[in-house]
C-alpha cells in the first residue's frame, strides 16, 4: 500500500512538473513573438517618419541607409522559436519601387495577435 502511495505521489509530481515546463515554454514563445511585433512596429514608425521627411523610403538591403536618425538602433529579433528558422534571424529590409515602398521580413514562431506562425512581410500598408 505504501508503494502505491509513493508511485501515485511521484506520478503527480512528474505530471505537475511537465505541465509547468510546457506552460513556461509557451509563455517564452509568446513573449518572443510580442517582442518581434514591438520591434516591427518601431521599424514601421521610423520608416514612416523617414518617408514623411524625405518623400521616399530609404535605400538599403538588410538595414535601411540613414535610418539611425529615426530609429535608435536596428533591432535584433529574440532567439528563434517555434517555426522560425535559426538562420537568418534578422529583420531584413529592402526598398521597393524606387523608394515608393519597402518590405521588412520577419518570423513569428507561434500564432500571435491574429497573425499565423511563420514568415511575414511588413510594407507601408502594414503586416501581411
Which residue from 31, 96, 102, 107 is spatially nearest to 70, judged by alpha carbons?
A: 102
**Verdict on whether the full-model pTM lies above 0.85:** no
**How many separate domains does the chain show?**
1
**Helix H or strand E segment including 114:** none
pLDDT in tens, the chain (128 residues): 777 667 666 666 655 555 544 444 554 556 788 999 999 999 999 999 999 999 999 999 899 999 999 999 999 998 877 778 776 788 999 999 999 999 999 998 888 889 998 899 999 999 98
Residues 6+ apart with CB under 8 A from 32: 77, 78, 79, 81, 109
Question: How far is residue 39's CA from residue 75's CA, in Å, rounded to a whole number?
Answer: 6
Task: Give the domain range for residue 67.
Answer: 2-127
Question: How far is residue 48's CA from residue 54's CA, in Å, rounded to a whole number?
Answer: 10
Amino acid at each position: 500500500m505504501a508503494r502505491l502511495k509513493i508511485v501515485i505521489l511521484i506520478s503527480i509530481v512528474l505530471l505537475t512538473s511537465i505541465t509547468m515546463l510546457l506552460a513556461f515554454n509557451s509563455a517564452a514563445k509568446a513573449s518572443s513573438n510580442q517582442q518581434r511585433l514591438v520591434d516591427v512596429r518601431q521599424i514601421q514608425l521610423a520608416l514612416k517618419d523617414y518617408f514623411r521627411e524625405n518623400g521616399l523610403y530609404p535605400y538599403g538591403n538588410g538595414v535601411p541607409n540613414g535610418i539611425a536618425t529615426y530609429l535608435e538602433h536596428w533591432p535584433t529579433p529574440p532567439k528563434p522559436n517555434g517555426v522560425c528558422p535559426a538562420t537568418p534571424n534578422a529583420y531584413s529590409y529592402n526598398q521597393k519601387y524606387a523608394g515608393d515602398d519597402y518590405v521588412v521580413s520577419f518570423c513569428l514562431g507561434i500564432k500571435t495577435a491574429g497573425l499565423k506562425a511563420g514568415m511575414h512581410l511588413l510594407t507601408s500598408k502594414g503586416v501581411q
